[in-house]
Chain A
Amino acid sequence: MRYIFSKGRRFFLPFFILGIILFLILNLSFGSINIPFREIVQSLLGNSTNDINRTIIWSIRFPRVLVGFLAGASLSAVGCAFQGLLKNPLADPYILGISSGGAFGAVLAIALQQFAGWKWFSNVETMSFFFALISTILTYFIASTKGKLPITQLVLSGIIVNLIFSSATTFIIVFYWRNVTNSTFWLMGSLSGVFWNDVLRLLLASTTGIFIMTIFSEKFNAMSLGEEEAMYLGVNVERFKLLTFILGSFLTSIVVSTIGIVGFVGLIVPHMARFLFGANHRISIPASALLGGMFLVGCDSIARSLFQPTEMPIGIITAFIGAPVFIFLLKWRLRN
Chain B
Amino acid sequence: MKEDVLNVENLSYSYVNGVKVLKNVNLKIYEKELVGIIGPNGSGKTTLLKCIAGVLRNYEGKIQIFKREVKTFNRKEVAKIITFVSQSFSPAFDFTVKEIVQMGRIPYHKLFQSSIIGDQKIVDDTILALDLKGFENRVFNNLSEGEKRRVVFAKALAQDTSILLLDEPFAHLDINYSYEMARLIQSKVKEYGKTVLGVFHNLNMASLFCDKIVVMSDGKIIAEGTPEEVYKEDIINRAFKTNCTIISHPKVSKPQVLINWS
Contacts and interface: CB of A to CB of B under 8 A. Distances in A.
Q: Give the interface centre of A84, A233, A235, A280 by most chain B CB atoms within 10 Å.
A: A233
A105 to B, nearest CB: 32
Contacts of B89: 225, 229
Interface stretch (B24-32, B72-80, B211-219): B72-80
Contacts of A235: 75, 106
B74 A232 contact: no
A215 interface: yes
Interface in A99-144: none
B114 A279 contact: no
A234 B112 contact: no
Contacts of B142: 336
Contacts of A89: 92-93
Q: How large is the interface on B (under 10, 10 to 19, 20 to 34, 35 or more residues)?
A: 20 to 34
Interface stretch (A39-47, A58-66, A159-167, A216-224): A216-224
B114 A218 contact: yes
A84 B92 CA distance: 8
Contact of B106 (A83, A215, A233): A233
Interface stretch (B37-45, B95-103, B175-183, B188-196): B95-103
Contact of B92 (A2, A88, A231): A88
A54 interface: no
A233 B112 contact: no
Interface in B56-93: 74-80, 82-84, 86, 89-93
A274 interface: yes
Contacts of B82: 232
Interface in A1-48: 2, 6
Interface in A212-259: 215, 217-219, 221-222, 224-226, 228-229, 231-236
Contact of A279 (B83, B99, B107): B99
A278 B94 contact: yes
Most chain A CB neighbours (cut-off 10 Å) among B89, B93, B109, B142: B93
Interface residues of A, number: 30
Contact of B91 (A225, A234, A282): A225
B94 A234 contact: no
A224 B141 CA distance: 13
Nearest to B88: A226
Given A217-B114, A218-B109, A236 B74 contact: yes
B92 A232 contact: no
Given A228-B55, A282-B114, A234 B75 contact: yes
A175 B164 CA distance: 64
B75 A222 contact: no
A87 B99 CA distance: 16
A234 B93 contact: no
B75 to A, nearest CB: 5
Contacts of B22: none
B112 A221 contact: no
Contacts of A231: 55, 75
A274 B74 contact: no
A234 B86 contact: no
B75 A279 contact: no
B139 A2 contact: yes
Contacts of B91: 224-225, 279
A215 B112 contact: yes
Contact of A234 (B78, B96, B99, B114): B78
Given A232-B83, A236-B75, 15 more contacts: A83-B92, A83-B93, A84-B92, A221-B103, A221-B106, A225-B89, A225-B90, A225-B92, A231-B55, A232-B55, A232-B86, A234-B76, A234-B78, A274-B93, A279-B93
Interface of A: 2, 6, 83-84, 87-89, 215, 217-219, 221-222, 224-226, 228-229, 231-236, 274, 278-280, 282, 336
15 contacts: A6-B137, A84-B92, A215-B111, A218-B106, A221-B106, A222-B106, A224-B92, A225-B91, A231-B55, A232-B53, A232-B55, A233-B103, A233-B159, A234-B80, A336-B142
For the complex of A and B, the 10 pairs showing the least CB-CB separation, nearest first, are A234-B79, A279-B93, A234-B107, A234-B76, A87-B92, A232-B84, A233-B106, A224-B92, A279-B95, A234-B75
